[in-house]
């Protein structure tokens, strides 16, 4: 063995991956190669070029050697120094051996690096001769071995050891920093994904988006973030209907989840429920394969609409505040969205009831035109569909049709029910109804989009209509559609002063008035669906009514 003391910069470039790991835990057995103290000893020996022994402080037993042929020479004087030893020390014995000791920074056991260098080869130190004899070395072998050991002054030896310790501590700290950087990087990436998920959810909170679609989006984004065996979002619907959406594998079905939730009926659901170490418990026996779980309610205030459950974290991990906080945030967003949809439905139903009441009031005031508003609404909606308008616009056209004549509430009953021809003054009173209707409805924010139809459905394409004298494209499209639907039903309906016209006669008037009284494009749309329009009017019953349900669809 050659134990040369070399101070070469290349010796200090050992890859950090070879650093001994400093870990906690129980002690290692003697000569255990996995003992951290042994790893540190080898690192010090590599950096300094000095032979070393790893020695237990308490027992003075040699745990390992840096070189297999390094003699275990530990006299009593050196052993006595080991107990309570800290730092670095260099000691010269009377026999001529220069001992050096370095504390080992490990948690597994109290250990120290010990080594020695002979200051002279003649005479040989007696304790070294005794150690060689115990190893059955010959005199020549011992002398040859000692000759290979280079002497070093004590102050140089101490400095070399200090450099080795400093370098090792720097490498260890650097390795710790690298681990911290990687951990921080992983946490930042995880946080970014969580923020991205929550941002994605908030961008998809349109009332038109169903909770099932939003829940499906949540599952697709959540499952990679929480590495669990199974993830489920269970949405509770009306009339016992529900949606059970799953990613991964669950150790139970929908009925099983109901039984699982029943176990926690006394839990205060203002906070998430976390259960780890389920195996080996009564619950584990009732739900085989269930190791741990996290449950959060989907709720907004006191209105609960479902559950999110994650179970069986991978890698023998346990659920904690990180997973609970993420699922709780997602559940809160889902719960708020579902509650908003419910409130919107209630509000929409209330508005529709209000519209129906207004239409009924108008019908009661002018029984001769009963059903006219509903038929105009249905016909106008069909014309809008033929023009490829979106569903939202068709909804608004339909409501505008229902309320287009609501201003007649403010017209004298005697004028509305007069069986004969109206005087010029009476006709002017009738012409006020679009503005009266506009005034009635403009205070209702939810009906603002239908105001153009109510106000301008009596405008003529040539500018000779009322109340604003608009012409051509100046007239809102909704009003141009309603004008055709209104004219069709008015001309075809019986009045006290005249019978309803035949369809052929109405259509001839439409042809002549296209581009003059009505928008030619709307007239063309009518002729494309004329059979359907006639069917709508034929099927309509004033007794039953044909009011469409225009409330949003069921949430689940």
> What is the SS3 assignment for 316-341?
HCCCCHHHHHHHHHHHHHHHHHHHHH
Comparing CA positions, the residue from 51, 193, 182 lying closest to residue 114 is 51
* CB contact at 8 A, 353 and 382: no
What are the pLDDT digits (tens) for 71-87?
999 999 999 998 888 89
pLDDT at 194: 64
Task: State how far the Cα of 556 lies from the Cα of 553, in Å rounded to an integer.
Answer: 9
**pLDDT band, residue 219 (cuts 50/70/90):** confident
The stretch 318-325 carries a mean pLDDT of 88
Comparing CA positions, the residue from 193, 190, 184, 194 lying closest to residue 326 is 194
Least confident range of 24-33, 163-172, 242-251: 24-33
What are the pLDDT digits (tens) for 128-170?
899 889 899 998 888 888 888 888 888 999 999 999 999 988 8
> What number of other Cβ atoms are within 10 A of residue 338's Cβ?
26
What are the pLDDT digits (tens) for 268-297?
888 899 999 999 899 999 999 999 999 999
**pLDDT band, residue 377 (cuts 50/70/90):** very high
Tell me the range of 43-47, 223-227, 328-332 where mean pLDDT is highest: 43-47
pLDDT at 538: 83
- Cα 158 to Cα 115, 165, 246, distances in angstroms: 12, 11, 66
**Given strand 53-56, what is the order of strands in its sheet?**
62-65, 53-56, 111-118, 97-103, 88-92
The stretch 377-406 carries a mean pLDDT of 93
β-pair partners for 231? 247, 310
The stretch 211-238 carries a mean pLDDT of 85
Domains, the chain, ordered by start: 9-174 (no CATH), 204-342 (3.30.450.40), 372-539 (1.10.3210.10)
């Amino acid at each position: 063995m050659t134990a040369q003391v070399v101070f070469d910069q290349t010796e200090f470039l050992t890859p950090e991956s070879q650093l001994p790991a400093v870990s906690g835990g129980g002690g290692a057995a003697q000569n255990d190669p996995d003992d951290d103290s042994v790893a540190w000893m080898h690192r010090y020996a590599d950096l300094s070029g000095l032979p070393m022994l790893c020695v237990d402080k308490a027992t003075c037993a040699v745990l390992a050697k840096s070189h297999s042929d390094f003699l275990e020479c530990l006299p009593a004087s050196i052993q006595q120094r080991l107990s309570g030893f800290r730092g670095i020390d260099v000691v010269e014995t009377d026999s001529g051996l220069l001992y050096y000791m370095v504390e080992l920074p490990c948690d597994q056991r109290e250990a120290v690096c010990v080594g020695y260098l002979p200051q002279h080869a003649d005479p040989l130190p007696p304790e070294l001769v005794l150690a060689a004899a115990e190893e059955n070395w010959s005199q020549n072998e011992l002398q040859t071995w000692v000759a290979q050991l280079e002497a070093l002054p004590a102050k140089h030896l101490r400095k070399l050891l200090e450099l080795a310790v400093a370098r090792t501590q720097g490498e260890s700290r650097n390795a710790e920093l690298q681990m911290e950087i990687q951990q921080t990087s992983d946490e930042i990436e995880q946080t970014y994904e969580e923020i991205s998920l929550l941002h994605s959810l908030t961008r998809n909170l349109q009332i038109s988006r169903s909770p099932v679609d939003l829940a499906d989006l949540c599952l697709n984004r959540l499952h990679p973030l929480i590495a669990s065996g199974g993830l489920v979002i269970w949405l509770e619907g009306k009339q016992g209907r529900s949606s059970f959406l799953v990613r991964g594998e669950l150790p139970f079905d929908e009925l099983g989840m109901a039984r699982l939730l029943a176990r926690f009926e006394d839990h205060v659901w203002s906070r998430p429920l976390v259960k780890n170490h389920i195996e080996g418990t009564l619950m584990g026996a009732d739900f085989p394969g269930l190791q741990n779980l996290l449950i959060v309610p989907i709720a907004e205030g006191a209105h609960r609409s479902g559950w999110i459950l994650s179970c069986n974290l991978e890698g023998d991990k346990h659920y904690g505040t990180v997973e609970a906080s993420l699922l709780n945030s997602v559940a809160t967003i889902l719960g708020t969205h579902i509650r908003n949809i419910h409130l919107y439905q209630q509000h929409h139903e209330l508005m529709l009831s209000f519209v129906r009441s207004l239409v009924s009031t108008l019908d009661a005031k002018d029984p001769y035109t009963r059903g006219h508003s509903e038929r105009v609404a249905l016909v106008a909606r069909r014309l809008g569909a033929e023009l490829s308008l979106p569903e939202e616009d068709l909804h608004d056209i339909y409501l505008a049709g229902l309320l287009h004549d609501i201003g007649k509430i403010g017209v004298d009953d005697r004028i509305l029910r007069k069986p004969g021809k109206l005087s010029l003054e009476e006709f002017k009173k009738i012409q006020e109804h679009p503005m009266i209707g506009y005034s009635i409805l403009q205070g209702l924010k939810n009906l603002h989009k239908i105001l153009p139809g109510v106000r301008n459905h009596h405008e003529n394409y040539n500018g000779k209509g009322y109340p604003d004298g608009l012409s051509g494209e100046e007239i809102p499209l909704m009003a141009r559609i309603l004008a055709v639907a209104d004219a069709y039903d008015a001309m075809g309906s019986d009045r006290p002063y005249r019978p309803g016209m035949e369809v052929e006669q109405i259509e001839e008037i439409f042809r002549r008035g296209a581009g003059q009284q009505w928008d030619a494009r709307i007239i063309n749309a009518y002729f494309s669906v004329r059979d359907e329009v006639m069917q709508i009017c034929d099927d309509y019953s004033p007794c039953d009514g044909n009011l469409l349900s225009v409330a949003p669809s069921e949430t689940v």
